[in-house]
Amino acid sequence: MTRLETVHEIVGPWSLATSKRFWEGFAPGRLASQTQAAGIHTAFLCDTDWERVDAVITQDGPSVRIVVEGPGELDAATEQVRRLLSIDIDGRGWPDVAARDEVIADAQSRLRGFRPCGFFSPYEAAVWSVLTQRLQIRQAVAIKTRLTAQLGDDGAFPSPATLRAASLDLPGRKAEYLDAVAEAALDGRLGGSYLRSLPSAEAFVEVKGILGMGPFSAELVVIRGANFPDVLPRNEGRLSDEITKRYGVDRSIDEITEAWKPFRSWAAVHLRALKALEE
Enumerate the domain spans of the chain.
2-93
In a 10 Å sphere around its CB, with 0-12 CB exposed, 13-18 middle and 19+ buried, how is residue 30 labelled?
A: middle
Pairs from 91-98 (Cβ < 8 Å, separation ≥ 24): 91/10, 91/11, 91/12, 91/13, 91/14, 91/115, 91/263, 92/11, 92/12, 93/12, 93/262, 93/263, 94/12, 94/13, 94/263, 94/266, 95/12, 95/13, 97/259, 97/260, 97/263, 97/266, 97/267
pLDDT at 193: 97
What is the distance of C-alpha 26 from the center of its chain? Answer: 10
The yes/no answer on whether domain 2-93 falls in CATH 3.30.310 is yes
- Rounded Cα distance, 93 and 91, in Å: 5
Which amino acid, residue 119?
A: F
pTM of structure: 0.93
Taking only the tens place, the pLDDT of each residue in 112-146 is 999 999 899 999 999 999 999 999 999 999 999 99
Instruction: Give the span between the Cα atoms of 77 and 67, in whole angstroms.
Output: 10
- Mean pLDDT over 216-226 rounds to 96
Rounded to the nearest integer, the mean pLDDT of the chain is 93
The C-alpha atoms of residue 117 and residue 30 are separated, in whole angstroms, by: 10
**Reduced to 3 states, what is the DSSP secondary structure of residue 59?**
strand
